[in-house]
Structure 1
């Protein structure tokens, strides 16, 4: 598969399926969406990620037609969709509650929207069978929603949403009601179905792991604004702000002031009487500028002796979080700051090298962290 097919956002010739242009949405005095501009492309699996109240559901409701922007315009396939009622848009929405009809069979639930638009029984039947097969529900077709599991109900809702072949499918926290194991399995099912149908999916979630797993691109939101839009890898490895670094996964933030010591190389004064730490950054910093060094715990190593490393700091083990495959050591520095170091548990726990209160050294390379100015 060519990169441009997978990354249409990098292709200047690709026209976005959805365009938000300077969209603001107010409810009375409250601004839910603040001057937002965003492009979403065809066949993308796009995630809106952020904490409760950040505006992601409002964006989705505007796409679905349940709300109109206060200012700005939203285009779908080049057409302004303001004022177009929900049932006239080539958009379908799958709700968190699934909203299935309890008195109808699975087959009839999937057929419901098709029957309202067509009387061709053969075509409806063929499409329902196709959707049952896609979501692996053929043997449950005659059952009622209460006779199947939560994960299966979720697939029925998905089949019903896709039955009318919408250009765009909106998923509002679709996996929130599922247990962790089932949620993980369903994430991969969703990706598979999205790939097979070629439908553009936009998912709203506050679960970072979910967004990172399913999405081709992620928009991290806060207070009605988009903080960064990028692929999951870029969001994780190259966050553009402390907010994004902190929101996705676990991160250590060291605050200090930067001084250039070579091309793209900086030393960071971070504590009185302590050796500066070193970082590489293509983002320019002026001498003495306040900065934040964001380092992921898995990029921090832990040692019994002083290591030969770009950056080494002494501390003591304050806490250990044992996660089965990983252990996270919370190391307290003499300055009172806590740095997390993550270690893969390749040995049995009885052979763990460090325990509580042990004096240790932590280290990381000068390329391990991301130097941020905000």
Structure 2
């Protein structure tokens, strides 16, 4: 995770004295009768690796295009380093954008692709070659300087596009699905390269992606966007462990969601009546629920234990039958059908080299979890 957002060393969003680099202030964007961005307010800080995450059509690309200057807000203002950038044309903004297609010039060498924007800038010609070499070194492509784009791999082309985007030292770099064209293994490797480059340069990165795993890996904070609104903005660990809504819990990772009625017990502890003639689920919540409020208990599959015998040391236990098994190498996911018909997913690590499954289809098993393993959500 870029800059280790979980540490006190880098969390400017928690410091009231810190001024944001980017501020969306009550921004709305309409295309005819369609509202793409709906009264959105958001701050992004210097040196962040910030992710805009959401499904196709949620508005995240529109946000990026407004930052780049390709679209103008219908209402509200966008500030960059204290300046309203609305009237500033795209080529005059201290912003650069890297597209998914990379948009490299096929007839130019790697070095000339990186130098292209510098030759049209105010940089003295005598300094351009040194800057190009600096960028080649940053992305570890010095030995490929004279090659054409078709003579290097997809991952290397991605790094050339990144070097070209960073060459003019923008305050802000926008990345539009930058790894979408790479295969999964190369994409994972490149994510860490991106994080390393972002940390070395200190440039603020804003990435648009629909890939939850990618956002969780690279970002200091994630903004989950849906229908033009911010649903939750938080570091990845908070988004995953403490989602603020059913939408976020369901969108990020895998989750079990059980609907019930909240029965306050003591302090933050609740009994959740989820099915008649079944023991209530005991859970905790930082948000208050009144007696008989509708609630949703969300718990990740890796926090649900699966055993042959009923455990005696867990607050919550429920019996069921193995319906499906998904073997994913490092883990197995068991889909367990409860007597109510509801299916709960539990995960178990395969920590032996050749793992014999503990359970198979139609086995009777017990699921269990602690009272703090899940979160209680109202919506």
Unaligned residue ranges in structure 2 (runs of 5+): none
Query: How does 1:215-294 map onto structure 2 within 5 Å?
Result: 215-294=219-298
Match of 1:327 in 2: 332
For residue 364 of structure 1, the aligned residue among 350, 366, 369 is 369
**Contact map agreement 1:4 1:10 (CA 8 A) in 2:** no
1:307-346 equivalent positions in 2, closer than 5 A? 307-308=311-312, 309-346=314-351
The CA distance in 2 between the partners of 1:350 and 1:80, in whole Å, is 59
* Offset, 1:4: 5.2
Distance (whole Å) between structure 1 residues aligned to residue 322 and residue 244 of structure 2 = 30
CA distance in 2, matches of 1:5, 1:126: 33
5 Å-filtered alignment, 1:189-200, equals: 189-200=193-204
Gaps of 5+ in 1: none
**Separation (CA, whole Å) in 2 of partners of 1:230 and 1:350:** 37
Q: Deviation of residue 121 (structure 1)?
A: 2.5
Residues 127 and 226 of structure 1, relative CA distance in 2, 3 Å threshold: same
Partner of 1:347: 352
The aligned length equals 374
Q: Which whole-Å CA distance do the structure 1 matches of 2:281 and 2:202 have between them?
A: 48
Match of 2:17 in 1: 13
Can you list the C-alpha shifts for 1:146-175, whole angstroms capped at 9, x where unaligned?
111100000000000000000000000000
CA distance, structure 2, for counterparts of residue 86 and residue 163 of structure 1: 17
Q: Residue 106 of structure 1 contacts residue 145 of structure 1 at CA under 8 Å; is this kept in 2?
A: yes
Q: TM-score of the superposition, structure 2-length normalised?
A: 0.97
In terms of mean alpha carbon deviation, does 301-310 or 215-224 score higher? 301-310
Segments ≥4 residues shifted beyond 4 Å? 1-5
Aligned-pair Cα RMSD in Å: 1.2
Residue 140 of structure 1: how far off its partner (Å): 0.7
Deviation (angstroms), 1:263: 1.2
Equivalent residues of 1:4, 1:11 under 8 A apart: no
Q: Secondary structure at the match of 1:39?
A: strand
Residue 180 (structure 2) aligned to one of 170, 176, 194: 176
